[in-house]
Amino acid sequence: MTQSFDVDSFIRSRKQTRVVSDLLKAQAADYLTTVAALVRPQPLFGEYLQGAPRGSGRETQHHFKEFRTLFDKHAGQRPFNLMNELEVPLNIINSTPELFPLEYDHALPGGGTVRVTSPSRWVVGYASFDLSRFRQVVRDPNRSGSELHRFVVHYLMLFHCFSRAGGLGRLFKGLRFPVGFQQLDDFGDLPFCVISSPVEATLPPDEVIRHSTEIAGNDSFEELISAEAIEGMHDELREQLTQALAEAPPR
C-alpha cells in the first residue's frame, strides 16, 4: 500500500479487513475441526499420556523419545529456563485444536515498536491454552513454573502431532490454507504451527501506522487486506490445469 493517511479511508480499510478476516478464520477453523482427530496425541503416545489407552509399544515409545528430545531442546533455553523434567504419564489437559491470532513486533523508523496482528494467519494451539496467556506467563518475572511448564508441553505436543501427521500439509495446501512452522516473538526458538489463508495481508507505510497508533493511544496495529489482494488470489489447481492444457499435444 502506498496511501497517505486519510481517516475515512483507513477506517473503511479496517472494517473491510475485519469482515474478510472473520470469514477466513471461520473457514480455517472449520477445516481444523474436521481434521482434529488426525492430530490427537492419544493414538501416538498411548500409555505415555494420562488416561489414554495402551498403544503399540514400539511406536508409542518412539514418539515419546522424540517428544522428550524436543522438550529437552527447548524447555531449558531462554525465555523459559525450565528445570523440571517430563513426568510420565504426560498430563495433556486438552487436545482440542484452536486458532489464536498471530502477532509480531514491527520497529518504526526513528524509534518505537508496534505489536502487529495478522488478520490472515493464525497460530494453532490447544483450547484452554490461549497464546496471549502464554505470552503473559513468559514475560512475568513472578510466573508460576508449573503453569509455564504446562504451556510449553502443550504447544510442543501440538507441534509434534502436526509435524508427524503425514499428508496433512498437502491437504491444507490443497484447501488453500497452508500449514507451516515458525518461531514467534517472545518465545525464543519454540516452534509453532501456523495456518495461513489464501489472501495476503500487508502493512501500510510506517507513517500510516504511526498516525493510527497515536490516534488510538496504543502501540498495536493490524495488517490490512485490500480488495486488490482478493482479486489477485492465485488458484494453484486452476494454474496447473491451464498449464496442462497448454502443454497437451494437439490431436
- Global pTM value: 0.91
Query: Identity (one letter) of the amino acid at 65?
Result: K
Cell 513486533: give the residue: 105
Give the chain's largest Cα–Cα span: 75
Position 79 pLDDT exceeds 60? yes
DSSP-assigned letters across all residues of 115-130: EEEEEEEEEEEETT--
Pairing assessment for the beta strands 97-107 and 220-222 based on DSSP bridges: unpaired
Q: What is the pLDDT of residue 232?
A: 85
Q: What is the pLDDT of residue 116?
A: 98
Q: What is the pLDDT of residue 4?
A: 54
- Average pLDDT for residues 103-119, to the nearest whole number? 95
Residue, of 85 and 101, whose pLDDT is higher: 101
Interval 239-249: pLDDT, tens = 888 899 899 88
DSSP class of residue 89? Answer: S
Interval 25-55: pLDDT, tens = 999 999 999 999 999 999 999 999 998 777 6
Q: What is the pLDDT of residue 251?
A: 67
DSSP-assigned letters across all residues of 23-49: HHHHHHHHHHHHTGGGG-SHHHHGGGB
Interval 164-200: pLDDT, tens = 998 999 999 999 999 999 999 999 999 999 999 999 9
Interval 192-220: pLDDT, tens = 999 999 999 999 999 999 999 998 899 99
The region that residue 145 occupies, defined by phi over 0 for left and psi between -120 and 50 for alpha, beta otherwise, is alpha
Query: Identity (one letter) of the amino acid at 64?
Result: F
Q: What is the pLDDT of residue 2?
A: 45
For residue 188 the three cell numbers come to 525464543
Q: What is the pLDDT of residue 18?
A: 96
31 contact partners, CB below 8 Å, separation of at least 6:
172, 175, 177
Position 66 pLDDT exceeds 90? yes
Contact 64, 89 (CB under 8 A): no
Contact 67, 157 (CB under 8 A): yes
Which sign does the torsion angle of CA 66, 78, 90, 98 carry?
negative
CA distances from 38 to 32, 34, 96, 104 (A): 10, 9, 11, 29
What are phi and psi for residue 195, nearest 5 degrees?
A: -105, 130
d(CA 103, CA 221): 10
